[in-house]
Structures are given as structure tokens and as C-alpha cells.
Amino acid sequence: MDKFYGRKLQLLPTINLQEIPPTSVIIQAVQKIKNRYQCFRCGNQNQHFFATHFCAKCSSHCTYCRKCITMGKMSTCTELIINEDDLRFDPSISGLEWDGKLSPQQKEASIKVVEAVNENQNLLLWAVCGAGKTEMLFEGIEAALQQGKFVCITTPRVDVVLELSIRFRQAFPTISIAVLYGGSEEIWDGNRITICTVHQLMKFRHTFHLLIIDEVDAFPYNIETHLHWVANESRTIKGSTVQMTATPTSEQQLLALKNKIKNVMVPARYHRQPLPVPSFKWIGNWRKTIRKTQKLPNSLEKWIKLFIQKGCPIFLFVPTINECIFIEEAVKKITVKSASVHSQDPQRHEKVSAFRNGDTQVLITTTILERGVTIPNSQIAVLGADEEIFTESALVQIAGRAGRHINYAKGEVIFFHNGISEEMVKAKKQILLMNHLGIKKGWLDNK
């Protein structure tokens, strides 16, 4: 059988017709609507991603979707079964065995999540990096489980899936949890909680009553709009979608600030210290300087040396993969305890752990490490912060690497640039706004 599982969605030829529940609907997977093809598994409508060939299965010419072909071919002759089960209300199922305590700001968010679940509403949860988002979800998920609902926590990033799965298995030890990502061995078997990458949602239709999307602004969810269709389709018609992010789009920010959408903002970190505010430092044409002298520009070199002396781990963010290497050579002249890492680096995980345990002191990286990795007492520099790759959201995430640990709640963030960009200004403004709201709410200590 195809690797296709799901209470709601199975490939027709592979199951016994008698097993199809009477409430099911059968649809054609790829359909031609008004002369345009559409894939009803992945939502693709881009005609470029459809191909027609002679199909051995049905002995005629079929059109199939290339966009989601890695998950098994969906064509004009494939059928999907969709059905929506009734809820089985069971207040005895809760399974939450987390005994930590929510901070007041986490509690406020948690109440909103429960409310959204109870009232089948959507919610934007805007919480700064390091606010402790995961714990804010526990009570809402508990309520959903008690109501017999199916829960999914999804995110664009595999490493986040793995991290979340550990935390949820600890918090809900008696609940069956499915963890799905490209290459994972597990299969979905009616599990009450599912933790998966957004691509895996293609395997589900009208399944989850509570869909939590973590890091909604992360790649590829932020640009591959067919995934939004996929996410919508994986949710039951009546249900709630909770979108979580530290860096909403400008449009979402505006809607939230004007209260046009149901939202909850958590502008303060759990340790009650403000977010480190980035400073800007002009560095001129640094590429030219490095090429000519094989050395880092003075101001950057001075900054790195200062924190090497203090024994701090240093993140140096750079614009492109190619530049990682030649910048690394220049950094090596200051300290040999340096390394560079990028998305295509096979030793990525080893290098990050060497940085974590102190064997590496300066880690040169592309935006690949803008999220997720937390190193206590790390100091953050961005080289070429004015370049296109460093969007408002990327810069806020990068700045969010600093000061996360309770013992090292302060940290330096510096943007080296050759002309201040609008995105830099917006990022700084967003961080200042969060600190301002944190103070207003009384959630920050004035130290």
C-alpha cells in the first residue's frame, strides 16, 4: 500500500469497499476545473506542475500532479476518500501530566488558547522568542482531548518537530502521539495528537479539530501558498486553528494591534528581562575589504575580540552560503576555534553541538540558524544586515537568539551594514514595541 494513512483519506484502490464508512465522500484527486487542473491532495493549481502521460493503471491518458509526487502519484484516475467522524466526548481523557507552573504572561495566553478550542475559533498567538510558547498550549490541548477532538501541532521545520515531540511525550505520556516528517518511520493510526511538518498535512483531510501551526512565518510555509490550502483542508470544518509566531507579517501585526483578529500577545520572556535591542554599525564595503586584506573589517574584528576575551559564544550571521567560507578564513586569523555552517552542510549537527559545548567559539552561519538554536550567553552579529536575505522577521529571529537564558538574560546584538535598510528599522521597531508592551503589562522587571 502507498504510504498513505489517515482516518479521513485513503487511496481507493487499496481498501476494501465495504470498509468505507457511509458518511464518506469520494473525489477525484486531480480534477480539471474551468480548463485548469487542480490537485486535491496538495492544493497545487500551478499548471506548470501538471504532466500528462499514458497511464498503465487505467490504460488511458492521465494527468498527474508533480508538486506532491514524492508522496505517491495523484492523477485524474486516482480517487480520494474523505469523511468526517463524529466526536466522542470523553472528559476522562486528559493525559496532561505536566507539573510545571505557567508564568502570568503564559497563563494569559493559555486561557486564550482554551477559549479558542472551546468556541472553535481561530487565534494568532504572537509571542516573542524565548517566551515559552509550548507550555502555553498544554491546557488548550487538554481541553481538546477531553472534548474528543483530534489535535495536530505542525511546523515547517523538521528540527522543531523533533524538539516538540520530546516535550509533548513528556507532558502527555499516556496519549498516543504520531510524529511524522519526510523519512520518519511512524505511521498515523488514529493518534489523538499528531506532530508533523506542514508537508505531511497533505495526508489528512478534515481530520484535526485543533490545528496548531508553529512558526507560521518560516520557510516554506511563508511562501508556498498551496500549503495554506493543505493546512485548511486538514482541519475539520468546525474547529480552531492557532497560528503561533514570534514574527508575524506586517499585515498580521496590524490586524492584531487593532484587534481585528482574535489574538494574544506575549511580549515578555519568561525570565522577565527585556529583549536585547540591536545596535547598528556602519561597516562600508566589507566584501572588498576582506578580499583585499584577507582580514575582517576593523570594527567587526574588534567586536569579536572583545567577546572572545569575555569567553562568550559568538554567532556571526552572513548573507550567503558561498561567503561562509571566505569569511571563515578571515575569522580563523582571530581564533582557530571557529567554524561555518549552512543548510547544505552535512556536518551541520556536529558543528552546532561543538558550538554548544564550547569547542567552537565563533560560529559563522547563514539564516539557517535564525531559529531554534539556543546557546546560553551567546552574542550576535549580523554582517551585511542591510542585504535582502535579512528581512524584518529574519532579523527579529536572529536578535532573539540573545539573552534567552535566565542566567544570561542580557546579550549584545549588532547589525553591521553598508547603509541602513528599511527591514533593519522595522525589526528594531518591533523589538522596541514588544519591550514597551511588556513594561505596560507589568511583565518586565525594571532592572
Provide, rounded to whole angstroms, the least separation between the CB of residue 373 and Zn ion.
Answer: 33
Cα separation, 273 vs 74, whole angstroms: 51
Amino acid identity of residue 99, one-letter, is D
Q: How far is CA 333 from the centre of its chain?
A: 36
**Does residue 51 touch Zn ion according to CB under 5 A?**
no
**Does residue 9 touch Zn ion according to CB under 5 A?**
no
Provide, rounded to whole angstroms, the least separation between the CB of residue 56 and Zn ion.
Answer: 8
Q: Mark the segment that binds Zn ion (CB under 5 A) among 54-62, 96-104, 311-319, 349-357.
A: 54-62
Among positions 1, 26, 58, 325, the unique one binding Zn ion when judged by CB under 5 A: 58
Q: Mark the segment that binds Zn ion (CB under 5 A) among 75-83, 85-93, 122-130, 363-371.
A: 75-83
Provide, rounded to whole angstroms, the least separation between the CB of residue 32 and Zn ion.
Answer: 14
Beta bridge partners of 5: none
Among positions 7, 67, 112, 272, the unique one binding Zn ion when judged by CB under 5 A: 67
Among positions 10, 38, 42, 340, the unique one binding Zn ion when judged by CB under 5 A: 42
Cα separation, 309 vs 71, whole angstroms: 51
Among positions 9, 10, 37, 39, the unique one binding Zn ion when judged by CB under 5 A: 39
User: Taking a C-beta distance cutoff of 8 angstroms, is the pair 126, 257 a contact?
Assistant: no
| E-state strands within 219-274 | 235-245, 263-266
**Does residue 62 touch Zn ion according to CB under 5 A?**
yes
Among positions 6, 9, 37, 77, the unique one binding Zn ion when judged by CB under 5 A: 77
The total of other beta-carbon atoms located within 10 Å of residue 325's CB is 11
Q: Mark the segment that binds Zn ion (CB under 5 A) among 36-44, 99-107, 191-199, 347-355.
A: 36-44
The nearer residue to Zn ion, 43 or 400, going by C-beta atoms, is: 43
Among positions 44, 191, 243, 367, the unique one binding Zn ion when judged by CB under 5 A: 44
Among positions 7, 10, 68, 218, the unique one binding Zn ion when judged by CB under 5 A: 68
Cα separation, 313 vs 295, whole angstroms: 20
- Distance separating the N- and C-terminal Cα atoms of the chain: 61
**Does residue 27 touch Zn ion according to CB under 5 A?**
no
**Overall size of the chain counted in residues:** 447
Nearest to 417 by CA among 304, 279, 301: 279
Contacts of residue 428, defined as CB under 8 A and 6 or more positions apart, other chains included, come to 277, 278, 280
User: Taking a C-beta distance cutoff of 8 angstroms, is the pair 62, 77 a contact?
Assistant: yes
Q: Mark the segment that binds Zn ion (CB under 5 A) among 65-73, 133-141, 146-154, 170-178.
A: 65-73
Site residues (vs Zn ion, CB under 5 A): 39, 41-42, 44, 55, 57-58, 62, 65, 67-68, 77
